[in-house]
Amino acid sequence: MMLRQIAVMTLGLLGTAAAQTVTVGLDADPPRLDPTLSTAFVDRQVLNQIFDKLVDLDQNLKIVPALAKSWKITNGGLTYTFTLRDGVKFHDGTPLNAAAVKYSLERHMTLENSGRKNELKAVKEIKVVNPTTVQITLKQPFAPLLGVLSDRAGMIVSPTAAQKAGENFQNAPVGSGAFEFASRKRQDNITLTANASYWDGKPKIDKLVYRPFPEGDVRLANLLSGAVQVITPIDPKDISRMDKNDKFNVMNYSGLSYYGIWFNVTRAPFNSKAARQAVAATIDREAVAKVVFHNTVEPANGPFAPGTPAAAKNARIPKPNLPLAKQKLGGKPLTFTLLTAPGTVPTQLAQLYQAMFAQAGITAKIEQVEFGTLLDRADKRDYDALVLGWSGRPDPDGNIYDFFTTGAPNNQAGYSNKTVDQLLNKARTQTSMSSRVATYNVALGKINEEVPYVYVYHQNNVVGTAKGLTGLKPIPDGILRFKDVDLK
């Protein structure tokens, strides 16, 4: 089917929508609409509309008030006291008070398969002081706490709805955000409606619809046809020509992300460090940036994006070293399956990696699966190697700790190193960023030598919008906030 036909069909499906409906084209269908269980960036695009957080980020990565209108840090950094906005209600009409905050945080900390456990591991106790005051006491100083609470760990769920729905909460999420969950059809759409009673004023649009389009060409065709008003991301090959199209706007701004390849160290062939080092030595980051991304990404050798507090200045980017790769193989054949998501860019990237590996006599078979399936297989370590990135967090801890400490929820390699555990736990307790950066550098040196993950590139946030859409702010976390968006 031609792309134009796809776009026209989609437009037909949405043609009866109200004038103040904004439809957003995403690159994947969000797997889990529960802030406790979510591990995917694409989930956050929707979760941030449904759920309020204790604090948020501004365009300069500064922590700003949200549900918590103010806070105090006392007791040598061990006690955080948050003053909540009074009168806030969940979408089900129940009050959002200190008891609800305590419930949500404890749910994040204890629910089976929670992706928030490590983020809140330093919390010792959560106390309700009064209906609008909640106090968090830590076991030890934890510098990243406010950064953590600006994301899913700080999202507050309705205790009434969560207890009633149980495991089904992700299919009927209830928060207090600017938009309420209305309906969902898997692989087709997620529909939200404006919260008319929102504490910060009713949104300007009446309805927000998310549709998954894994293929970048299809996303773009739907934007060009008017079937959607926002797409994220724009494929790199299309950025330049969209910049020149005066009927649309392109937002291209710095992000926090990194992308690369995971190796499953718990089974052959990548329980061999030499095998991991051999594959890593074939990768030409400059070629990846040029061939796949048209020089719109930055080559990487670590998890900290350029311009962020822990980013290395004048970082050395490894060059491909085929003699080293062959030496590490020791004349033995290496064959494995490379798991990746569907889509134009993931396909091009996987094929380029495959060609790079082949130069050293390494054979990679490419297997593509739907993004939610990829995440499930990553969590279960049902793979050899897989192409997967991270959207990034404002505090450096959020870009490294959960990936490389033993047993951490995002440690999809199954990697374990006691020295790395000690270093990353030490960094969490250090209050000086310069001291933390020095600790991260030591840990990262060990990680890059053992290669459970090979860092390849950092990517900007690139969003395409219809000309008549206004009010989106370029927040570096890449999450689009629609509360103040208008459509003319």
| Predicted pLDDT at 289 | 96
Average pLDDT of span 338-352:
95
Strands (DSSP E) found in 112-223: 123-130, 133-138, 179-185, 189-194, 207-212
- How many other CB atoms are found less than 10 A from the CB of residue 248? 19
- Phi-psi category of residue 406: left, alpha or beta, with phi > 0 → left and psi -120 to 50 → alpha: beta
d(CA 395, CA 135): 22
C-alpha angle 288-290-293 in degrees, rounded to nearest 5: 75
Q: In the structure encoding, which two tokens stand for residue 25, read together?
A: 């084209």
Determine the Cα–Cα distance for residues 245 and 467; give it in Å rounded to an integer: 10
- Average of pLDDT values for 320-341? 97
User: Over the stretch 346-378, which tens digit does the pLDDT of each residue have?
Assistant: 999 999 999 999 999 999 999 999 999 999 999
Q: Copy the structure tokens of residue 210.
A: 């998310």
Q: Hey, what amino acid is at 144?
A: P
pLDDT of 3 higher than 60: no
Question: Does one domain contain both 249 and 101?
Answer: no
Average pLDDT rounded to a whole number, residues 245-260 = 95
Task: Report, as an integer, the average pLDDT of 312-325.
Answer: 92
Task: Give the whole-angstrom CA distance, residue 238 versus residue 405.
Answer: 38
Query: Does position 2 have pLDDT exceeding 90, yes or no?
Result: no
Q: Residue 298 belongs to what H/E stretch?
A: strand 297-299
pLDDT in tens, 132-178: 999 999 999 999 999 999 999 999 999 999 999 999 999 999 999 99
222 within some domain: yes
Determine, yes or no, domain membership for 32: no
Mean pLDDT, to the nearest integer, of 179-194?
Answer: 98
Count of CB atoms within 10 A of residue 206's CB? 17
379, pLDDT greater than 50: yes
Task: Report pLDDT for 152.
Answer: 97
The pLDDT of 421-436, averaged and rounded, is 94
Q: Is residue 41 part of a domain?
A: no
Domain boundary among 127, 161, 195: 161
pTM: 0.86
Tokens of 189: 């759409």
- Looking at the structure, do residues 372 and 401 belong to the same domain, yes or no? yes
Could you tell me if residue 172 is inside a domain?
no
For residues 175 and 155, the answer to whether their CB atoms sit within 8 Å is: yes
Residue 47 forms part of a structural domain: no
pLDDT of residue 261: 98
Distance between CA atoms of residues 101 and 94, nearest Å: 13
Local confidence band at 315 (pLDDT 50, 70, 90 cut-offs): confident
Q: Quick one: tokens of 118?
A: 């490590």
Same structural domain, 391 and 437: yes
Runs of H (alpha helix) within 282-370: 285-291, 322-329, 344-358
pLDDT of residue 320: 98
In a domain, 411, yes or no: yes
Tell me the pLDDT tens digit for each residue of 219-234: 999 999 999 999 999 9
In the 8-state DSSP scheme, what is residue 34? -
Q: Please state, as a whole number, how many other Cβ atoms lie within 10 Å of the Cβ of residue 154.
A: 29
Whether residue 29 is predicted with pLDDT greater than 70 in this model: the reply is yes
* Same domain membership, residue 148 and residue 123: yes
**CATH number of the domain to which 21 belongs:** 3.40.190.10
On whether both 208 and 336 belong to a single domain, the answer is no
Same structural domain for residues 422 and 293? yes
- At 119, which CATH number? 3.90.76.10
Q: Which helix (H) or strand (E) holds 161?
A: helix 159-165
Percent of the chain at pLDDT exceeding 70: 96
Q: Which two tokens stand for residue 171?
A: 């299919």
User: Does an H or E element contain 101, and which?
Assistant: helix 98-110
Are the C-beta atoms of residues 25 and 213 closer than 8 Å to each other? yes
From 93, 78, 91, select the one nearest 124 (Cα to Cα).
Answer: 78
Greatest CA separation for the chain: 69
Domain that holds residue 374: 258-459
Average pLDDT over residues 323-341: 97
Taking the C-alpha atoms of residue 3 and residue 11, their distance in angstroms, rounded to an integer, is: 12
Same domain, 471 and 356: no
**Residues 156, 157, 160: CA angle, nearest 5 degrees:** 140
Residues 269 and 131 in one domain: no
CA distance 445 to 451: 10
What DSSP line would sit under 200-241, residue for residue? T---SSSEEEEEE--SHHHHHHHHHHTS-SEEEPPPHHHHHH
Q: What is the mean pLDDT of the chain?
A: 94
Residue 5 has pLDDT above 50, yes or no: no
- Distance, in Å, from the CA atom of 93 to the CA atom of 196, rounded to the nearest integer, reads 12
How crowded is residue 464: how many other Cβ atoms within 10 Å of its Cβ? 27
Distance separating alpha carbons of residues 175 and 96, to the nearest angstrom: 9
pLDDT at 313: 80
- Residues above pLDDT 90, as percent of the chain: 93
**Residue 487: which region, alpha, beta or left (left: phi > 0; alpha: psi -120 to 50)?**
beta
- Residue 33 falls inside a structural domain: no
- Give the total number of structural domains in the chain: 3
As to burial, measured by CB atoms within 10 angstroms (0-12 exposed, 13-18 middle, 19+ buried), residue 165 is middle
Strand partners, 194: 179
Pair 352, 268 in one domain = yes
Query: Is there a single domain that holds both residue 448 and residue 474?
Result: no
Residue 13, pLDDT > 90, answer no
21 shares a domain with 113: no
Q: How far is the C-alpha of 431 from the C-alpha of 395, rounded, in Å? A: 12
Helices (H), 318-400: 322-329, 344-358, 371-380
- Where a domain ends, among 132, 161, 190? 161
Select from 129, 161, 193 the last residue of a domain: 161
pLDDT tens-digit map of 78-129? 999 999 999 999 999 999 999 999 999 999 999 999 999 989 999 999 999 9
The CATH number that applies at residue 412 is 3.10.105.10
List of residues 6+ apart from 238 with CB closer than 8 A: 216, 220
| 311 belongs to a structural domain | yes
The answer to whether residues 387 and 311 belong to one domain is yes
DSSP string for 262-281: EE-TTSTTTTSHHHHHHHHH
Q: Indicate the burial class of 43 (C-beta count within 10 angstroms; 0-12, 13-18, 19 or more).
A: buried
Q: Are 487 and 468 in contact (CB under 8 A)?
A: yes
Q: Counting Cβ atoms within 10 Å, is residue 155 exposed (0-12), middle (13-18) or buried (19+)?
A: buried
Question: Rounded distance, CA 121 to CA 164, Å?
Answer: 26
Q: Looking at residues 427-452, what average pLDDT do you find?
A: 95
